[in-house]
Amino acid sequence: MKSIILSILFGAVSFGMVSTAIAEQSDTVKVFKMYLQSEIDARSSRYVDLALTKAENNNSDYVVIEMDTYGGALDAADDIRTRILEFDIPVYVYINKDAASAGALISIACDSIYMSSASSIGAATVVTQDGAAAPDKYQSYMRSIMRSTAEAKGRDPQIAEAMVDETIEVDSISSIGKVITFSTSEAIKHGFCEAEVSGLDEIMSRSGIEKFEIIEYELSASDKIIDLFINPYVSGILILVILGGIYFELQTPGVGFPILASIVALVFYLTPYYLNGLAQNWEIALFVLGLALIALEVFVIPGFGVAGLIGICMTVGSLILVMLENDWFDFTFVAEGDLITAVFTTFLALIGSFIIMFIGGVRITESRMFKRVALQTTLDSANGYTSNFKKESFLGKKGTAYTILRPSGKVMIEDELYDAFTRGGYIEQGTEVEVIAEEANSLKVKAVS
C-alpha cells in the first residue's frame, strides 16, 4: 500500500514538472532576425523573400529587420514593401544608423519602427546613378507609394510624401526646398518611431515580451553558391567558357564537348541572375537571337557580314545587360560603377576568349583528349586514296547548264548532275557547255560558242 502511494506521488510530481516545462516552452516567443545593411537591389529583394518564407515555416511570432542603408533601386524596394505589407506575422524594423530613400519606404511598411541613438530616417527623393533628381514620373510614383504605405500603417501620409518632394510644406516640420529627414527624437515626436532602443532585447522588453528565442537568418548553401556566381570575376570566367565553347564547336563540328561546356557555363551564368531578378526574359531572348544570327551567317549565308556582326553585338550586349538592373535599356538607376564593372568583365572575357581561340586552339587540337574524339588519319593519294568520284574522263564532253553558273553551279551531262564552275565568267541556265578540265569532284566548263 505504501509503495502504491509513493508511486502515485512520484507520478504526480513528474506530471507537474513536464507540464511546467511545456508551459514554459510555449511561453517562449520566436523572434526571427534578418539584416538589410547594404544597397537595396534585386538581391536584397530575393533575400527578404527567402527570409520571410523561412520565418513562416519556422512559425515565428515576430520578425525584426536590422537596417542600415542609404537606399537603392526603387523597384526592389517596392517589392520588399509589398511583401512586408502582405505578411501576416508582425514585422519590426530596428534602424541602426540610417534608413534613407528606399530604406525609409521599407521601414514605413513595417508594423513598428525602432531606432538607435543618432539614427535617421527619410530623404526619399528618387535620384539617378549620378546623384541628380530623377524625372518627375519616378518622383510621383515614389510619393504615391510612400503616402499609401504610411496610410496603411497609421502614419502621417503628408510627412511621408514630404520625405520625397521638397515642394511639400508641412506645418512646423518642414519648409519648401527641403525634404524631411528625421533624427531619432524627431521621428518619435511625429509618429515615425516607437522608441529609441539599443538593441533587440530592449525592443522585445518594450513589447512586453520577456522570454524569447532569437533565430538569425542565414543564406542556405545553395543561395551562397548563387551569390558566388554573381561575383564579376566568376561571371567573367563563365562568359569566357561560353564564347570559347561556341567558337571551338564551330571549328570542330560534331565533337560535342565544347558546346556542352558552353551550355553548362551559360546555365551557371544566367540562373543566379535570373533568380535575383536581374536577368529578364527579353535579355535571354536577345542572347538566343544573337546566337541564331551567328549560326545563320556561318552555315547559311556565305562569308561573314551584317547578320554575323549584329549577332555578335546582340550576344555580347545581352551578357552585359543580364548583370545590370536596367528597364528596357533605361539605365537611369544603374550605378556607374556597376555599368563599368559589367562592361569590363564581359570584354575582358571576350579578349580572353580570343587569346584561347588563336593561341590555345593549336594546343587543344594536339592534346590527347582531342585526338581521342577527332579523326586524325590522313587519307592521301600516296596510299591510294582519291577524292575523284568519276570512273572515266569528262574532258571534251558537252552538256547544259542546269543552274546559273556564277561562277559555280550545276551542269547536266548524259542525264546526270555534276558540280561545275567556269573560268570566272557568267553562264545562263540552259546554255550548252563543254568540260575543259577536271578538279577533284568538280568540272571546269566553258560556254559552247
Please identify, among 353, 373, 393, the residue that sits at the C-terminal boundary of a domain: 373
- Grid coordinates standing for 148? 499609401
Residue 151 structural domain: 25-218
Query: Are residues 330 and 231 part of one domain?
Result: yes
Query: Are residues 204 and 240 part of one domain?
Result: no
Query: Are residues 79 and 35 part of one domain?
Result: yes
Query: Are residues 387 and 352 part of one domain?
Result: no
Query: Where in 101-159 does DSSP place strands (E)?
Result: 112-115, 120-122
Query: Are residues 214 and 237 part of one domain?
Result: no
| Chain CA centroid to CA 180, Å | 35
Average pLDDT score over the chain: 80
What CATH number has the domain bearing residue 439?
2.40.50.140
Which residues fall within 8 angstroms of residue 422, CB to CB, at 6 or more apart?
Answer: 405, 407, 408, 444, 445, 446, 447
Query: Are residues 117 and 56 part of one domain?
Result: yes
The two beta strands, 91-100 and 442-447, are unpaired
Please identify, among 167, 193, 218, the residue that sits at the C-terminal boundary of a domain: 218
Assign 373 a pLDDT band (cuts: 50, 70, 90): low
Query: Are residues 279 and 247 part of one domain?
Result: yes
In the three-class reduction of DSSP (H, G, I as helix; E, B as strand; rest coil), residue 305 is classed as coil
Look at residue 15 and tell me if it is in a domain.
no
Helix (H) or strand (E) holding 202: helix 200-206
pLDDT over threshold 70, residue 335? no
Assign 395 a pLDDT band (cuts: 50, 70, 90): confident
Please identify, among 347, 373, 399, the residue that sits at the C-terminal boundary of a domain: 373
Look at residue 16 and tell me if it is in a domain.
no
* Mean predicted confidence (pLDDT) in 20-25: 43
The amino acid that residue 432 corresponds to is E
Say which range, 133-147, 269-283, 353-367, 405-419, has the weakest mean pLDDT: 353-367
- In this structure, what DSSP letter does residue 435 have? E
Tally of CB atoms within 10 A around 118 = 9
| Chain CA centroid to CA 445, Å | 58
Question: What pLDDT is stored for residue 416 in this prediction?
Answer: 87
- Grid coordinates standing for 385? 586514296
Look at residue 13 and tell me if it is in a domain.
no
406 versus 60: which is more confidently predicted? 60
What own/partner pairs with CB < 8 Å and gap ≥ 24 does 249-254 have? 250/298, 251/361, 252/365, 252/374
Query: Are residues 347 and 209 part of one domain?
Result: no
Specify the residue for cell string 526571427: 32
Question: What pLDDT is stored for residue 258 in this prediction?
Answer: 75
- Sign (positive/negative) of CA torsion 65, 69, 75, 78? positive
pLDDT over threshold 70, residue 336? no
Question: What pLDDT is stored for residue 57 in this prediction?
Answer: 92
Cα angle for residues 364, 369, 374 (degrees, 5° grid): 80
Look at residue 6 and tell me if it is in a domain.
no
Percent share of the chain, pLDDT over 70: 77
Most confident range, picked from 18-32, 35-49, 191-205? 191-205
pLDDT over threshold 70, residue 48? yes
Q: What would the DSSP string read from start to end of 278-292? A: -S-HHHHHHHHHHHH
Which residues fall within 8 angstroms of residue 188, CB to CB, at 6 or more apart?
Answer: 115, 194, 195, 196
What CATH number has the domain bearing residue 211?
3.90.226.10
Say which range, 113-117, 174-178, 245-249, 319-323, has the weakest mean pLDDT: 245-249
Query: Are residues 439 and 339 part of one domain?
Result: no
Percentages of the chain per state (helix, strand, coil), in multiples of 5: 50, 20, 30
Cα angle for residues 344, 347, 353 (degrees, 5° grid): 140
Question: CB of 71 within 8 A of CB of 103?
Answer: yes
Residue-wise pLDDT for 57-79, tens only, equals 999 999 999 999 998 888 889 99
- Rounded to a whole number of angstroms, the distance between the first and last alpha carbons of the chain is 136
* Mean predicted confidence (pLDDT) in 76-96: 94
Helix (H) or strand (E) holding 196: strand 195-196
Look at residue 332 and tell me if it is in a domain.
yes
Percent share of the chain, pLDDT over 90: 29
Question: CB of 154 within 8 A of CB of 190?
Answer: no
Query: Are residues 264 and 214 part of one domain?
Result: no
Look at residue 20 and tell me if it is in a domain.
no
Question: CB of 335 within 8 A of CB of 128?
Answer: no
Look at residue 362 and tell me if it is in a domain.
yes
CA distance 354 to 109: 50
* Mean predicted confidence (pLDDT) in 331-342: 66
Query: Are residues 234 and 122 part of one domain?
Result: no
Task: State how many domains the chain has.
Answer: 3
Look at residue 17 and tell me if it is in a domain.
no
For the question of whether the overall pTM of this predicted structure is more than 0.85, the answer is no
Query: Are residues 194 and 231 part of one domain?
Result: no
In angstroms, the Cα distances linking 328 to 279, 283, 377, 388 are 11, 9, 52, 56
